[in-house]
Amino acid sequence: MQTTKEILQQSKNYLEQKEHPSPRFHAERMLMHILNIDRLTLYLDFERPVEPKELQKLRNYLKRLVQGEPWQYIEGRVPFFHMEFEVNRHVLIPRPETEWIVEKVVEEVNSERTKVTSVLDLCTGSGCIGLSIKNACPNLSVTLSDLDEKALGVAKTNQIRQGLEVELVQGDLFEPLKGKKFDIIVSNPPYVTDQEYLELDSKVRDFEPKRALVAGADGLDLYRRIAREYQAHLNPGGRLYLEIGETLGNQLLELFSGRGEILSDLAGKPRLFLLENE
């Protein structure tokens, strides 16, 4: 049997031949995932033999990788805000920039400015936002909501995996939440325009769920609905946090009649629409 050192080199060479970006990084990731080891163990145990079934699985993963499938879907998990979330093609891959929004919500919950007891994660997908908030602030009552049954199934899997008590509801935006109000509503809704979708990187366009990305000709379809409906579900003094595309800030301010503010992330890009309810 071949050793991990030999297999790592062969995998790297294969990815280089296929002109795949970061060939060593991805060869390491795939081998670490197959062997269920961390990077340090990989390099400390270079003479470990790779079993035939492990090698076959690795070959399959590498094939999927060069066909353009994101490594997060191949591994089926992704780190996010000090946790690890299971993902598949029914949900978007959590992005590092969204962690900044979670930080902002957690800062608000922990501040002495207001007393926050309830949070709604609207369009939850994998549940990464709501579950991360719950993990950081265990005393909160957190609700995860999504239209897509399969996406909500992924959120449920992550809830069980993390051992967190939250409510999960399925339905179209606020429809399943009649009569319920929250201190904070946070959402990363679809905001890609129809044209932008055609121009997305193939890794996104061909593998991530279109429904979770696209929101009409101008990318504002979901924001319009949220602007019409949020007040019935946000307590007085409550806060609305919406992740936005970097070109949508002024349009969001118009949708909300000039109320709210646009915050830029650590990279200086407009990332968050924040509104305090009257």
Using one digit for the tens of pLDDT, what is the confidence trace for 12-47?
Answer: 999 999 999 899 999 999 999 999 999 999 888 889
* 226, 122 contact by CB (below 8 A): yes
Calculate the alpha carbon distances from 145 to 102, 133, 134, 234 in Å. 16, 14, 14, 15
pLDDT in tens, 240-257: 999 998 888 889 999 998
Q: What is the per-residue pLDDT for 112?
A: 73
Distance CA 123, CA 248 (A): 18
pLDDT in tens, 155-165: 999 999 999 99
Instruction: Answer yes or no: is pLDDT of 168 > 90.
Output: yes
> In the numeric block, which tokens belong to residue 262?
């646009």
Which residues in 19-133 belong to E strands, given as ranges?
77-80, 83-86, 118-122
* 130, 158 contact by CB (below 8 A): no
Q: What is the per-residue pLDDT for 258?
A: 87
Q: What is the per-residue pLDDT for 266?
A: 84
- High-pLDDT (> 90) share of the chain, %: 88
Topology (CATH level 3) of domain 84-276:
Rossmann fold (3.40.50)
Q: Please tell me whether residue 183 adopts helix, strand or coil conformation.
A: strand
> In the numeric block, which tokens belong to residue 238?
């409550």
Helices (H), 67-208: 71-75, 96-110, 128-136, 149-162, 194-199, 202-205
The pTM (predicted TM-score) of the whole model is 0.92
- Across 168-186, average pLDDT: 96
CA atoms within 13 A on the CB side of 28: 11
Residues 6+ apart with CB under 8 A from 255: 220, 223, 224, 227
Q: What is the per-residue pLDDT for 187?
A: 97
Q: What is the per-residue pLDDT for 245?
A: 87
Using CA atoms of 191, 194, 198, 201 in order, give the dihedral in degrees to the nearest 10.
0
pLDDT in tens, 77-123: 999 999 999 999 999 999 999 999 999 999 999 987 778 999 999 99
> In the numeric block, which tokens belong to residue 114?
């207001």
